[in-house]
Amino acid sequence: MSANHDVRHYPGAGLMTTVFFLWLYAPIVVVIWFSFNENRLVSVWSGFSTKWYTAALANDALMDALRVSLTVAGIATVISTTVALCAAMVLSRNSDLRFAKLSETVVNLPLLLPEIVVAVATLILFSQLEFTNGLLRLIVAHSAFCTPFAFLPIRARLQGMSADYEEAAQDLYATPFTAFRRVTLPLIMPGVFAGAMLAFVISMDDFITSNMLATGGTTTLPVYIFSLIKRGTTPELNAISTLLIVASLVIATLALALSARAMRRA
Amino acid sequence: MKTKLTLGVAISTLLAMPAFAEGTLNLYTWSDSIAPELIKKFEESTGTTVNIDGFNSNEDALTKLQAGSSGYDVVTPSQHFVKIMIDQGLLENIDAKDMAAFAQVDDKWKNQWWDPDSNYSIPLAYGTAGYTVNRDEYSGPVDSWKAYFEPDESMKGKIASLASPDEVIGAAELYLGVPFCTEDKAEMKKVYDLLMAQKPYVAAYSSDNIENRVGSGEVAMHFWWDGNSLKTRLDGANIEYAMPKEGLVGWLDSFVVPKGASNVAAAKEFINFMSQEENATIQYNYYAHSSPVKIDVSKAKYTPENAPELFPTVPMEFSRACSPAAQDLITKVWTDLLQ
Amino acid sequence: MRRGFRFWGLVPAWVLMLGTLLIPLMIVAIVSVAQRGAYGGFEWAFTLEPYRQILFSVGWTDELEFDPKYLFVIGRTLVLAGATTLICMMLALPVAYVIATRTPRMKTVLIYLVTLPFWVSMIVRVYAWLIILGNDGFVGRIWHALGGQGTLLFTPGAMLVGMVYSYIPLMVLPVFAAIEKLDPALLEAGGDLYASRWTTARRVILPLTWPGLAAGSILVFVPALGTVLEPMLLGGGKQMMMGTLIQTQFGSARNWPFGAAIALVLMVMVVIVLVLNARRAMRKEARS
């Protein structure tokens, strides 16, 4: 067979893939690289310095924004993971359930709708209800759009797991709840953790909804970054972005590794 | 065990939440308008934590308040927006006339049309809106709005305007001799035609980051405010604030407290603090806009000699709160312009 | 207990989604036929004004004239979202193919590398392109060195680059999944039958990966329709898309009903895409 027939190799495809990965990571590297730039002008390199990290860490407004983001993400993660866990349990253990398909769609709804539409819809509702606490507004909205991200890994884990364990456990223990707590939950824990971490990252990174709903004193980190971008680029902004990039990547990596391992075992 | 741990984390985070409400003062002011030194001083003397968010247009401030309880305790809109906010019931009656700060206010700014009984607002700063030219990029005359609204061919793509209509339309009206807040469609059509003819020359309609844009010469002319232009000039930029013979658009920003603010007492305390002579002087030297409250003239950084921007030689006309019909026309001019 | 949990287990999810999505969306529909307040907000009075505004404007002499400016915004949104989808497809096909033909270990690593940037905050990813395309940035300087005029930022091209970058992982993953399912024997048969591997690609690989491409297109096209950050930062706010138009109406333009009407139009567009996709999937199921 001539080389021209070898369907496993296409000339240029390998090169293109290399370029593709470079292109995928170049922007992230650029942000990180210039965060160590001594110069005030972001893209004019004039020497290595970590002073922008010092500046960022001493920036009160940034720390406030970080605290808001962590609070919102932390609570929204707990809520969305709980909601997702309950829903996933019901949906994967009752195939004869009425409206199962509909319920599943509803849980995943935030993935299907444009975020800006949901954000303005929530804004109108909250302003009509005179729902005033900025932090609670963010927590409620974030809990909703984080739910599918928590739901999918848990659901996948449950689907890959036989119901035999639970049934055996239910024969042994008195209540289904005990069976759930002692048997099912430990088995699906990797999925739950993966889901919770993904929900956390999604909440931490959100801009559109937070920007619509944020009020005085509840500026989240991405909203704060946006306000800095509008005022012009500085290496301090790169330093802040770098910290956010590193945090997101570490948590996402953990979550993905965890769910990959969970899938393999199941 | 793990459930308990998660629960524990959740509860402790919830308990930490009141830290956001208690002893916190949330300010919503024009970007970079309050001297950081004073914020620090206020935080130290009262133990209150101050958060500041910035806005770049009165419209933004109004929008935030309208979206239902902004969460802010103090906002600093301009006079005509103070009037609109009062009419819309968005402000807290703080009995401004009985506050210590009120005694510091220059008599000519008391009981003005936007707050006739001085119930809602204490003035913070006043000044003008006009345009600034970068003298490295533009050497022509700046004694009229003509240079800005009907520029030379060479200014194509070298002009910048603001992101919101408020003062820009006022300036266009001054140039054309159209009265502010007119409900006459034909008159507003003239304003529209003028701005539409200017559009090809406009590089950006943006209220952010103005000092870099005009200071660096990225654009040659920028719609701007007196004090900001002054500060940037003193920082070394070769710029000049124009004195158009048709007049400048006047504004006066006041401290107001949004309805439902969670910390009204601290808000009033802050306003009083800012109006004390010593602090008002620091604020004046920082913000570089004229002060409507008493300042220590001997310590004031800006004088007619070194800061001609603040002492205009041309007429000044204050923006007004327009009727809904007139406001609709302004909105129409702007949306048709920016589509 | 078990029966009870079947019901109660789903209640939190339903309550959350009803309260933050379904009921708010119904309110959006109502607000889109309400009167706008003079200084913002809205008043409860029925009017079709917001929808009329999409197609017609009241001219300076009170005449009602057909005005396509918002149709242009809708058109621009469709074109840019469509272009994003197409470019993502063209990039994803070869890349996914190369990944799918690696060793299992390598596959996992590469797929992980494709997914990873997706978890970086959208705002940071857009900011990165702001630096790169800016006049002092890497690409900006090359552009000037090649004799390019003006700035690369604030153009539809800049928006497109940002959008493709944001959504590409959503295309690579399903295409990869489809290619991985291909039977190598089929490919080899194709290789034997046809003269060249390009013909194999066109006649065998492309048709068989079509489901993956279709799924990826939905995943890219739908969020691209509602994109906000790219037009705002990379488009300089001058090139409106539906997402930014909605945002402005709830922000500085203070015309909530009109913003709600546009949001509803966007929703309807998304639902049409999703329904078409579901029908396609159903037809396929029926056939097999």
From residue B76, give the alpha-carbon distance in Å to each of B55, B153, B273.
9, 39, 15
Give the span between the Cα atoms of A257 and A247, in whole angstroms: 16
- B6 contacts in chain A (CB < 8 Å): 78
Indicate yes or no: CB of A132 within 8 angstroms of CB of B69: yes
Q: Is the pLDDT of residue C73 over 80?
A: yes
Q: What pLDDT is stored for residue B20 in this prediction?
A: 44
CB B261 within 8 A of CB B94: no
User: DSSP of chain A, one letter per residue?
Assistant: --GGG-TT--TTHHHHHHHHHHHHHHHHHHHHHHTTB-SSSTTS---B--HHHHHHHT-HHHHHHHHHHHHHHHHHHHHHHHHHHHHHHHHHH-TT-TTHHHHHHHHHHHHHS-HHHHHHHHHHHHHHTT---HHHHHHHHHHHHHHHHHHHHHHHHHHTS-THHHHHHHHHSS-HHHHIIIIIHHHHHHHHHHHHHHHHHHHHH--HHHHHH--TT---HHHHHHHHHHT---HHHHHHHHHHHHHHHHHHHHHHHHHHHHHHH-
Residue listed under structure tokens 């933004």:
B60
Give the span between the Cα atoms of B76 and B84, in whole angstroms: 13
Distance from CA of C188 to the nearest CA of A (A): 7
| Bridge partners of residue B318, in order along the sequence | B250
- Express each pLDDT in B213-270 by its tens digit: 888 888 899 999 999 999 999 988 899 999 999 999 999 999 999 998 889 999 999 9
Chains that touch C (3 or more CB pairs under 8 A): A, B
- A122 contacts in chain B (CB < 8 Å): none
Residue listed under structure tokens 């037009």:
C231
- B328 contacts in chain C (CB < 8 Å): 38
Considering only the beta carbons, identify the residue of C112, C246, C247 that sits closest to A256.
C112
- A71 contacts in chain B (CB < 8 Å): 13, 16-17
DSSP reduced 3-state for C195? coil
The pair of structure tokens assigned to C45 is 């009075």
Distance from CA of A75 to the nearest CA of C (A): 14
- Express each pLDDT in C12-26 by its tens digit: 999 999 999 999 999
Segments making up each domain of chain A, as ranges: 59-265
Q: What pLDDT is stored for residue B105 in this prediction?
A: 95
Distance from CA of B89 to the nearest CA of A (A): 14
Phi, psi values for residue C44, rounded to 5°: -75, 85
From 3.40.190.10, 3.40.50.300, 3.40.50.970, 3.30.530.20, which CATH number describes the B22-126+251-299 domain?
Answer: 3.40.190.10
Segments making up each domain of chain B, as ranges: 22-126+251-299, 127-249+311-338
Give mean pLDDT, residues A248-265. 82
Residue listed under structure tokens 């491409």:
C213
Whether the CB of A162 is below 8 Å from some CB of chain B: the reply is: no
Whether the CB of A64 is below 8 Å from some CB of chain B: the reply is: yes
Residues composing chain A: 266
Q: How many CA atoms lie within 13 A of B195 on its CB side?
A: 28
CB B48 within 8 A of CB B25: yes
Lowest mean pLDDT segment, chosen from A100-114, C63-77, C103-117, C201-215 = C201-215
Give the span between the Cα atoms of C65 and C62, in whole angstroms: 9
Residue listed under structure tokens 């997101």:
A248
Domains annotated on chain C, with CATH: 83-240 (1.10.3720.10)
Give the span between the Cα atoms of B204 and C239, in whole angstroms: 12
Give the span between the Cα atoms of A218 and A127, in whole angstroms: 16
Chains that touch B (3 or more CB pairs under 8 A): A, C
The pair of structure tokens assigned to C259 is 């913003």
Q: What pLDDT is stored for residue A206 in this prediction?
A: 93
pLDDT band at B68 (very low <50, low <70, confident <90, very high): low
- C250 contacts in chain B (CB < 8 Å): 63, 67
Other Cβ atoms less than 10 A from the Cβ of B154: the count is: 11
Indicate yes or no: CB of C251 within 8 angstroms of CB of B63: yes
CB C47 within 8 A of CB C33: yes
Q: Which fold has domain B127-249+311-338?
A: D-Maltodextrin-Binding Protein; domain 2 (3.40.190)
Q: What is the pTM of this model?
A: 0.86
- C127 contacts in chain A (CB < 8 Å): 31, 225, 229, 233, 237, 241
- C71 contacts in chain B (CB < 8 Å): none
| Residue C173 CB-density burial (10 A; 0-12 exposed, 13-18 middle, 19+ buried) | buried
What ipTM is given for this predicted complex? 0.88
Considering only the beta carbons, identify the residue of A90, A123, A177 that sits closest to C10.
A90
Q: Is the pLDDT of residue C165 over 50?
A: yes
DSSP reduced 3-state for B49? strand
Indicate yes or no: CB of C254 within 8 angstroms of CB of B186: no
pLDDT above 70 covers a percentage of chain B that reads: 93
Question: How many contacts, defined by CB atoms under 8 Å, are there between A and B?
Answer: 69
Q: Is the pLDDT of residue C8 over 90?
A: no
Rg (CA), chain A: 23
Q: Are strands B49-55 and B122-134 parallel, antiparallel or unpaired?
A: unpaired
Give the span between the Cα atoms of C251 and B59, in whole angstroms: 8
CATH of domain A59-265: 1.10.3720.10
CB A80 within 8 A of CB B10: no
The pair of structure tokens assigned to B91 is 């402000």
Q: Which residues of B256-295 are buried (b: 16+ CB within 10 A; e: fewer)?
A: bbbbbbbbbebbbbbbbbbbbeebbbbbbbbbbbbbbbeb
Indicate yes or no: CB of C40 within 8 angstroms of CB of B63: yes
- B27 contacts in chain A (CB < 8 Å): 216
- Express each pLDDT in C211-241 by its tens digit: 899 989 999 999 999 999 998 888 876 678 9
Considering only the beta carbons, identify the residue of B59, B186, B328 that sits closest to C252.
B59
Optimal mutation site among B1, B26, B74, B213, interface A, most CBs of chain A within 10 A = B26
pLDDT band at C65 (very low <50, low <70, confident <90, very high): confident
Other Cβ atoms less than 10 A from the Cβ of A228: the count is: 18
Q: Going by C-beta distance under 8 Å and a sequence separation of 6 or more, which residues neighbour residue A198? A: A149, A150, A153, A252, A255, C119
DSSP element (H, E) containing B211: helix B210-215
Residue listed under structure tokens 């009265």:
B179
Considering only the beta carbons, identify the residue of B16, B20, B209 that sits closest to A217.
B20
Lowest mean pLDDT segment, chosen from A144-153, B12-21, B196-205 = B12-21
Rg (CA), chain C: 23
Mean pLDDT of chain B: 89
pLDDT band at C131 (very low <50, low <70, confident <90, very high): confident
- Express each pLDDT in C244-258 by its tens digit: 999 888 877 788 999
Indicate yes or no: CB of A83 within 8 angstroms of CB of C12: yes
Q: Is the sign of the CA dihedral B110, B115, B120, B122 positive or negative?
A: negative
Q: Comparing C-alpha atoms, which of A265, A257, A243 is closest to residue A197?
A: A257
